[in-house]
Amino acid sequence: MDSAPPDEGAFLVPSAGPAFRMTDYNATGEKTMQFFIIGNLPADTDLQLDIRNRRSPGGPLYTTRWPTALHTANGATP
C-alpha cells in the first residue's frame, strides 16, 4: 500500500474527468514496477500514465508521462 501524499504516485489520466490514483504496486526489479489497476476505470477509454513525485519534501511536484496512451477494454465493467 502506498503511503505517499495524495498528489504523488502513479495516476491514470483520462482526457476528461479526474485522474485515477493507483495505490498498490510492487517493485519487480531494476527500473521495473508492477501496478495494480483499480476496478472502476471507464471502458473503451484512452488513459495517460503519469508518475508524480517530489525530489525533496515540500518541493515542487514533477510529472513524468508515459509516451503511449493505455487503452481499457471495450468490455470492461466499472
Residue 2 domain flag:
no
Count of domains in the chain? 1
Residue 19 domain flag:
yes
Nearest to 33 by CA among 55, 9, 13: 9
CA–CA distances in Å: residue 38 to residues 31, 55, 58, 59, 74: 22, 26, 28, 28, 16
Residue 77 domain flag:
no
**What range defines the domain where residue 23 resides?**
9-71
Residue 1 domain flag:
no
The pLDDT value recorded for residue 2 is 53
Residue 48 domain flag:
yes
C-alpha cell at 61: 511536484
Q: What is the pTM of this model?
A: 0.76
pLDDT in single tens digits along all 78 residues of the chain: 456 788 998 899 998 888 999 878 777 777 777 777 767 788 888 999 999 999 998 899 999 999 999 888 876 555
